[in-house]
């Protein structure tokens, strides 16, 4: 008989005098979780999900699974009870399905005791995560190219369940309601529960929203949770969760209206997909890995098909060396083993190299693109000069100019300077008589950067004072400053170019006579604001957004490079219109609004989650790796004009410029949903393959692998670059290396593929065979040989292209860094 258990737990103790301050810990112990338990413990049958099973899904309701999961939880409780006095710790969660463990709050001394207890594999202090913060369906070609194949938008994503680990949801938003829609029937395989709003006693679910739960035990134990602000329910107190859910699965054709103007119709990528909410992020502090892991574990247990994660760590885990091995990534490996596709935001640390926060091969890591909409507005001065800026606002009256009045020249008295009056956040400190009927000039200070001042409030101030409009001048641009257009109800413009702001200030000073004390005698400078509501559509889209995190991928927190490309794919993530929570505070410019237009890889990940739902709907038996492969091999590296995609980058002078993008910016390229539904070939992989990748990656401790996977190492893969991914990366190429890939024909008929390859001159590339015929459902291997020609000190980029006789095109990026030894 074999008796062992693996558990991960976070430990929380309310510090007694003899202990240090209690903290949260995640601990793993021996034995298998439900997803990989193959039997061996007396009285408990095997529960493992086998990767070669077509429908490899966890049956959470089977008596065998319930019984073994209960057994694991009892073992967790017993371990703690044997080691510590009751009341000296608080167990927060038992993790049983994807990793075997639990979260507990206790002192560092107790954590040390645990570390040395028999059967305990690892004890890790919890770390925090943060949020990685509509026109895109048309930009991606969904209404004409993809939705009709699934029965139109009325059926796009039907019965596919997308789980969102985020800040909750605002269930009353039109993007999520069931009003005027065909009724949603039950999804029998989904077993998630619906919490009830503690205030109204109404369920958060309505058929469209099929599950709603929240996870805050770690946040509560850490003293970070405030129920009046954070809401002790799945309600979105932030806005971020509602935004991401509506991008992936919001209803089709919802009018985006603000201040009487309709900016278009919003729709999710998969408008009929179901939404399952797992709230683990909160407005002020983000979240704790303990709560996030519990949410993921529950989501997979409940039966979600897709997981959308717009979260990333604030910092590396405290005592983990390897990027791929920690409770978070190990839980996601379990999720993928259970057949769940995982999309995660790449991070917003761009444009700097190695800034990714998503590392593992089993995850689809999503970079953010700028789509084809740009918003511009103009201020026309009385001297005829036209100053460009941004502002989603109506124009002042046509053919009419208005006096310009600076906030600094309209103070009620000198004592109000302590309120930063030039920010125009407080109407009560400014003289209404001077401002009424004129254009108010305000200054863009650091307060706008940190969020204590907002453009929305400038607009409210101008309106309260009777101004016809406002101008916000940026005089100093700090490195990395990003200015997004903000919708406002009155004419308004943000002049983002410091040079243009100086022109405006010079004009104002010349045309504003003053007495000897400096007081204005009369305001004679004039101007008018043009209409900024209509977008300009650019063919130079998509581009990689400046904030989108970049590769190379790293295998450890010493920043050693991995033999694996990240990010995987590029999707829209800049200026995305989507649902917002009326309680939302994440963006001060959208407080109290029903929609928000925001940017981040947070917005890119749910685009991929929603498109993955469409692929899953068409191909229900495909593995997560097959779905990811379809997305990657059919993506494009060209923009709408047919030119190579460009990436926003900072020049040495810290000004923004555009450079030719590489796979470190966009992975395989920008998503093409129509092609992804019919990729021809897929590069499939499963749990054993990912284990092989870990075991052959130099520098990873085999004991650490066993701690998180409960599996012995198998080195048959030979080298991590042989993992069957739809990309090839060799971070340290010496002389020659041969890489193997296996493709499976997922089309309905036999097809012959001609294989070609090209590479930048420093590395030679060769493929074998040059052509192959593959029957429907069959698999074939091919090899790629890479040889160093010259050592340049940087990566060489290339691609393998497979052209099929029936019109399929499969492309994979190739990256190699040549060394002499």
Contact 401, 382 (CB under 8 A): yes
Q: Which of 126, 159, 166, 568 is catalytic?
A: 166
Q: Which residues contact 200 (CB under 8 A, 6 or more apart)?
A: none
Can you name the residues that pair with 764 across neighbouring β-strands?
787
The structure tokens listed for 352 are: 């700097």
Name the 3-class secondary structure at 413. coil
Report which DSSP code applies to 351. T
What are residue 308's phi and psi, to 5 degrees? -110, 120
Find the catalytic residue in 60, 360, 602, 668: 602
User: Which residue(s) pair with 388 in the sheet?
Assistant: 378
* Residue 63 φ/ψ, nearest 5 degrees: -60, -35
Is 395 tagged catalytic?
A: no
621 catalytic, yes or no? no
The stretches of 718-788 forming alpha helices (DSSP H) are: none
Q: Measured at the alpha carbon of residue 583, what is the angle toward residues 450 and 443, in degrees to the nearest 5?
A: 30
Q: What is d(CA 333, CA 346) in angstroms, rounded to the nearest whole number?
A: 17
- For residue 711, CA distances in Å to 144, 328, 695 come to 46, 18, 10
For 642, residues 6+ apart whose C-beta sits below 8 A from its C-beta are none
- How is 557-573 classified by DSSP, letter by letter? TT-PBPSS----EEEE-
Nearest 5°: the CA angle 208, 132, 324 is 100
In 511-623, which ranges are continuous DSSP H helix?
Answer: 601-618
- Catalytic residue, chosen from 105, 135, 214, 240, is 240
Residues 6+ apart with CB under 8 A from 223: none
Q: Please say if 166 is a catalytic residue.
A: yes
Enter the tokens of residue 626.
């097959």
What single-letter DSSP state applies at residue 777? Answer: T
Instruction: Give the residue from 15, 6, 7, 9 showing the smallest Cα distance to 218.
Output: 9
Residue 108 phi/psi, 5-degree rounding, is -60, -35
Q: Whole-angstrom Cα distance, residue 665 to residue 562?
A: 16
DSSP-derived pairing of the beta strands 306-309 and 161-166: parallel
Active site residues: 166, 240, 602
């Amino acid at each position: 008989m074999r008796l062992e258990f693996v558990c991960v737990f976070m430990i929380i103790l309310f510090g007694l005098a003899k202990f240090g301050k209690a903290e949260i810990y995640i601990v793993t112990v021996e034995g298998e979780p439900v997803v990989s338990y193959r039997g061996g413990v007396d009285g408990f049958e095997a529960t493992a999900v086998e990767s070669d099973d077509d429908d490899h899904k966890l049956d959470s309701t089977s008596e065998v699974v319930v019984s073994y999961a209960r057994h694991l939880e009892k073992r967790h409780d017993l371990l703690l009870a044997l080691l510590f006095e009751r009341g000296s710790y608080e167990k927060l969660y038992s993790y049983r399905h994807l990793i075997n463990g639990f979260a507990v709050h206790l002192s560092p001394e107790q954590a040390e005791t645990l570390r040395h207890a028999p059967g305990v594999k690892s004890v890790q202090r919890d770390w925090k995560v943060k949020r990685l913060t509509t026109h895109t369906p048309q930009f991606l070609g969904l209404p004409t190219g993809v939705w009709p194949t699934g029965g139109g938008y009325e059926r796009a994503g039907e019965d596919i369940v997308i789980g969102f680990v985020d800040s909750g949801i605002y269930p009353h938003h039109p993007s999520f309601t069931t009003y005027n829609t065909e009724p949603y029937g039950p999804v029998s395989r989904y077993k998630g529960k619906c919490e009830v709003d503690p205030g109204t006693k109404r369920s958060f679910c309505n058929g469209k929203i099929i599950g709603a739960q929240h996870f805050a035990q770690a946040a509560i134990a850490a003293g970070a949770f405030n129920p009046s602000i954070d809401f002790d329910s799945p309600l979105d107190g932030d806005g971020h969760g509602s935004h991401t859910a509506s991008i992936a699965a919001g209803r089709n054709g919802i009018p985006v209206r603000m201040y009487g103007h309709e900016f278009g119709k919003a729709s999710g990528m998969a408008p009929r997909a179901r939404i399952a909410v797992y709230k683990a992020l909160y407005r002020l502090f983000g979240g704790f890995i303990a709560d996030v892991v519990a949410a993921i574990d529950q989501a997979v247990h409940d039966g979600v098909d897709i997981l959308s994660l717009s979260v990333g760590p604030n910092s590396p885990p405290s005592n983990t060396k390897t990027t791929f091995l920690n409770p978070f990534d190990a839980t996601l490996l379990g999720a993928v083993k259970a057949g769940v596709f995982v999309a995660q935001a790449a991070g917003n640390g761009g444009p700097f190299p190695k800034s990714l926060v998503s590392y593992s091969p089993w995850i689809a890591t999503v970079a953010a693109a700028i789509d084809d909409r740009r918003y511009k507005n103009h201020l026309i001065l009385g001297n005829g000069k036209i100053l460009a800026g941004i502002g989603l606002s109506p124009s002042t009256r046509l053919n009419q100019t208005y006096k310009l009045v600076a906030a600094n020249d309209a103070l009620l008295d000198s004592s109000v300077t302590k309120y930063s009056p030039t920010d125009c956040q407080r109407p009560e400190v400014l003289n209404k008589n001077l401002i009424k009927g004129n254009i108010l000039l305000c200054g863009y200070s650091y307060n706008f950067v940190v969020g204590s001042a907002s453009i929305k409030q400038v607009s409210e101030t101008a309106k309260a004072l009777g101004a016809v409009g406002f101008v916000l001048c940026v005089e100093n641009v700090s490195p990395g400053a990003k200015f997004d257009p903000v919708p406002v109800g009155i004419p308004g413009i943000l002049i983002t170019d410091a040079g243009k702001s100086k022109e405006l200030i010079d004009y104002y000073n010349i045309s504003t006579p003053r007495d000897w004390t400096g007081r204005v005698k009369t305001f004679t400078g004039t101007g008018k604001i043009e209409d900024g509501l209509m977008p300009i559509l650019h063919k130079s889209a998509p581009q990689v957004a400046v904030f989108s995190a970049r590769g190379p991928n790293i295998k450890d927190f010493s920043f050693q490079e991995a033999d694996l490309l990240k990010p995987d794919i590029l999707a829209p993530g800049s200026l995305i219109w989507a649902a917002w929570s009326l309680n939302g505070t994440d963006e001060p410019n959208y407080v109290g609004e029903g929609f928000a237009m925001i940017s981040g890889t947070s917005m890119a990940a749910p685009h991929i989650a929603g498109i993955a739902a469409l692929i899953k709907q068409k191909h229900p038996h495909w593995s997560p790796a097959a779905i990811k492969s379809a997305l990657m091999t059919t993506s494009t590296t060209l923009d709408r004009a047919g030119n190579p995609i460009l990436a926003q980058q900072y020049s040495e002078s810290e000004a923004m410029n555009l450079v030719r993008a590489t796979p470190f910016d966009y992975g395989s390229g920008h998503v093409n949903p129509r092609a992804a539904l019919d990729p021809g070939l897929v590069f499939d992989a499963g749990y054993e393959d990912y284990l092989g990748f870990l075991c052959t990656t130099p520098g990873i401790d085999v004991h650490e692998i066993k701690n998180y996977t409960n599996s012995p190492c198998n080195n048959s893969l030979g080298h991590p670059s042989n993992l069957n991914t739809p990309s090839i990366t060799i971070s340290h190429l010496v002389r020659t290396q041969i890489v193997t890939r296996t493709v499976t024909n997922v089309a309905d008929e036999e097809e012959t593929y001609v294989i070609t390859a090209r590479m930048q001159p420093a590395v030679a590339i060769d493929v074998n065979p040059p052509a192959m015929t593959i029957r429907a459902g069959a698999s074939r291997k091919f090899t790629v040989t890479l040889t160093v020609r010259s050592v340049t000190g940087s990566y060489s980029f290339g691609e393998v292209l497979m052209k099929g006789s029936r019109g399929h095109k499969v492309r994979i990026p190739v990256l190699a860094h040549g060394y002499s030894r």
